[in-house]
Amino acid sequence: MIDLRFVAPDLRRLDEVSAEIVACGVWKDERPLTGLASLLDWRMAGRLSRLARQSFLVGEVGEILVVPSRPRLPFDKVLVAGLGPRASFNDATFRKVLERLLDVLAGLSVKKAVLELPGRGDGGLAPERAAEILLDVVGEEARDGLCFVEEPDGQRRFEKHAQDRHRTALRAQGMR
């Protein structure tokens, strides 16, 4: 079963996590920034908001922006992924953005990352649905080095869904 690690979306908690990069998402049509992006933006003295105002950061699906973040954050870089318009965000968009994030992290040879799952920062997708798609994408293998940003209630719901899915898979194997 996949080993899920979580951190609450709180700057003090994020400061305690050892990782090279922190990844968040931004909506194309929502300003000010929301979710983890808003916390990181605050700590970075509005840098992400300035990039958005200058149309350097748009929020289109597939868009990736990597910004240096030291010394204001304990991570070397902030990776921002576009989520597209909020109204059109769905399971397919979640999957596409998640796969893109994981590909970029692999391409950067990142060993440890803090990741806000696409749309989860402000409830764009239920924790159970996010867990289901995440497990479909990464499989049951432990993905060492990933820590997910999630509120405590979301963490519990996410873990319960992952455990239920694992039990169901074990039962199905036993029936063969």
The predicted structure's pLDDT at residue 74: 97
The predicted structure's pLDDT at residue 143: 64
**What's the length of the chain?**
176
CATH number of the domain bearing residue 118: 3.40.220.10
Give dist(CA 70, CA 77) in Å, integer: 7
Kindly report, residue by residue over 97-132, the tens digit of the pLDDT.
999 999 999 999 999 999 999 999 988 999 999 999
Which helix (H) or strand (E) element contains residue 94? helix 91-107
Q: Based on the structure, what is the number of domains in the chain?
A: 1
The predicted structure's pLDDT at residue 139: 77
The predicted structure's pLDDT at residue 141: 59
Task: Give the pTM.
Answer: 0.92
Q: Dihedral through CA 108, CA 67, CA 143, CA 104, nearest 10?
A: -50
Q: Is residue 1 part of a domain?
A: no
pLDDT in single tens digits along all 176 residues of the chain: 567 899 999 999 999 999 999 999 999 999 999 999 999 999 999 999 999 999 999 999 999 999 999 999 999 999 999 999 999 999 999 999 999 999 999 999 999 999 999 999 988 999 999 999 999 998 765 567 899 999 999 999 999 998 898 888 888 887 65
Q: Can you give the residue range of the structural domain that contains 146?
A: 6-174
The predicted structure's pLDDT at residue 171: 86
